[in-house]
Amino acid sequence: MTSTQIVDEAETTLFHSQLLRDYASYLGAAGYATNLESLDPVLWGARAFLRHFPHLKEWLSLSLPDQLRGPRKSRYFLHYLFLRHLLPASAAYLISARPNLGKVARRYLERETFAQYMEVGRRLHYSVDILSQQFHALACVMAYSQKELKELTIGDMDAFTNAVHVAWIEAGYGSDPRYWHGRLFGVRTVLFHMGVLPNLARRRT
């Protein structure tokens, strides 16, 4: 092993240790694990993921069937990585695995964003159920683009919508692109009123 490899391995080990500490703190703060007994099984999934993919982006090289085949607790960790913007979520994975990123995000990582989104959305007379569905779509766009809410652009919305359409055609299954288009139309309207996007969404004719 060369000196460069030794340094790389040491840096990876330190990164993993910090990442596991952050994940453990998140699990506790989000209420997923209230004691060591409940925490350890969930952390097992994170450790298993890191053993298989010491460099996180190695996961991206897997085929879609292999990405969908991972253990459930490892997928929980994967979704955390998406929302922490440590690993980009592909449109193919999002429409096939259908992770409830909106529910995960609003529980802790994007709790304040969710509260702000709901406040504006309710003023626009959207129902709580519709707003929850919209926020799920928004969380997916953020995970796909690896951007915070205030950084999102109309181009990010369009890129995600197009990627979903292509992924749906290629996979032949998954959530219908029309679902995403409908939810993201509402998202764009709310984000305009939040001051994030410069233009109000328009229905296609």
Q: Per-residue pLDDT tens for 165-199?
A: 999 998 887 888 899 999 999 999 999 999 999 98
pLDDT digits (tens, 9 = 90+) for 41-69: 889 999 999 999 999 999 999 999 999 99
Q: In whole angstroms, how far apart are CA 81 and each of 68, 74, 88, 114, 126? A: 16, 11, 8, 19, 30
Is the full-model pTM beyond 0.85? yes
CB 177 within 8 A of CB 161: yes
Q: How many CB atoms lie within 10 A of CB 200?
A: 10
Tokens 């209230």 found at: 34
pLDDT digits (tens, 9 = 90+) for 125-135: 999 999 999 99
Q: How many CB atoms lie within 10 A of CB 142?
A: 25
- Tell me the average pLDDT across 97-122: 96
Give the tokens for residue 73. 């607790």
